[in-house]
Amino acid sequence: MRVRQILVGPMKNFVYLLVDEESREAIVIDSGWETGPVTKAVSEEKARVKYVVATHGHFDHVGTIKEMAEVLGADVVVHEESELEANLRVRNGDRLTLGTNSVTVMHTPGHTKDSVCLYDGVEVFTGDTLFIGNCGRTDLPGGSAEQLFHSLKEILLKLPPETVIYPGHDYGEVPSRRMGEEAELNPTLRAGSLSDFLGEE
């Protein structure tokens, strides 16, 4: 599938357009600050967006999600624990179809209770669960360092090493990286225990 990585807003958010190249069906992942760059990409790709998916409920990721979905004629999709209004609520393991392809929902709590990553078998879109070189913060309401450690170690690190990570912010030295390389470079993924992850002696 084709990936468009779109930088928006003052917090260096990434919004993604994922297009099935045969059917032109598409998913928009997150929608924070502005709709224009995303709808422009949709037009350029001649795509038909079925879903606008929130990786979690923080304002910088969902501020324009309802507007985005209305403009594109798409359904808003959130995790079942989200407080956002939505057309479709999903849980871990659910699949969103694009033509003959599909994207799997992976519930990865820790940054928030409703955090999800989306995996298409080649790429994983990690929202604020995993950044290039770091991971999401856990000191906001609904955050849990213990849950995030489990999500990183037992869910994301179980993906194939060639999986390409597409994070929710442009906070790293590169905009994307393969999981195998990230596992070696990212200290939050190298942590062997929760105590290591928390920086405890």
Output the DSSP codes for 14-71.
EEEEEE-TTT-EEEEE---S-SHHHHHHHHHHT-EEEEEE-SS--HHHHTTHHHHHHH
- Nearest-5° Cα angle at 41, 37 to 45: 175
Q: What is the mean pLDDT of residues 65-92?
A: 96
**What are the pLDDT digits (tens) for 176-195?**
999 999 999 999 999 888 88
Q: What confidence score (pLDDT) does residue 201 get?
A: 41
Q: Please state, in angstroms and rounded to a whole number, the distance separating the CA atoms of residues 93 and 117.
A: 11
Q: Is the pLDDT of residue 141 over 70?
A: yes
Q: Which helix (H) or strand (E) holds 190?
A: helix 187-190
Please state whether the predicted TM-score (pTM) of the whole model is above 0.85.
yes
Cα separation, 33 vs 81, in Å, equals 23
In this prediction, residue 197 carries a pLDDT of: 86
The per-residue pLDDT for range 155-182, each reduced to its tens digit, is 999 999 999 999 999 999 999 999 999 9
* Mean pLDDT across 101-119: 97
pLDDT band at 1 (very low <50, low <70, confident <90, very high): very high
On whether the CB atoms of residues 108 and 98 are closer than 8 A, the answer is: no
Please report the domains of the chain, with CATH numbers, ordered by start residue: 2-198 (3.60.15.10)
Identify the pLDDT of residue 200: 54
